[in-house]
A = this chain, B = another copy of it.
Amino acid sequence: MNEITHRIGIKSSPEKIYELLTTDDGLSQWWTNDVSGAADVGSIIKFRFNGGGPDFKVTELIPNKLVHWKHSGNVPEAWMGTEILIKLNNEGEQTFVRFTHLNWKEPTDFMAHCSMKWAVFMLSLKDFAETGKGKPFPDDIQIDHS
């Protein structure tokens, strides 16, 4: 299996970042402006980009430390069976976010595309937490001209 893994250090508290990862309002500040369903373990979060997009089931939550989702449904197809694991680790003035999108069957061009997109969304998460302004879809940084 293959995985995408990124680490970023944000000058913010684990509590604030955890909120940005576990609530509709928080998630909509950095990934996409259309998020619904974020709640406790067992909830299904719907992320939408111009109407379509993936669902994730929340499978584990440790407040201010860990968020674990499993992909749900069949869009995009290459994400079926994949999981998102996000761990928070406070070190002094910053909180490190270790993001992993795991269980990819193949390291395809699409996985490499998603790796870049997750990186720009991590920058968006950092920007929102530090400045109050992120770049969620549709204002996200473009990584190609497709």
Binding site for B on A (CB under 8 A): 2-11, 93-94, 96, 98-100, 107, 109, 111-113, 115-116, 119-120, 122-123, 126, 141, 143-146
Contact = CB atoms under 8 A, between A and B. Distances in A.
Given A8-B143, A100-B112, 6 more contacts: A3-B107, A5-B112, A94-B144, A94-B145, A116-B119, A119-B120
B7 A109 contact: yes
Number of copies: 2
B98 A109 contact: yes
Contact of A144 (B5, B9, B112, B116): B9
Nearest to A119: B119
Contacts of A7: 109, 112-113, 115-116, 143-144
Contacts of A112: 5-7, 98-100
Contacts of A3: 2, 107
- Classify the secondary structure of A's interface with B: mixed
A76 to B, nearest CB: 15
A99 B94 CA distance: 29
A4 B115 contact: yes
A122 B96 CA distance: 22
Contacts of A107: 3, 5
A48 to B, nearest CB: 23
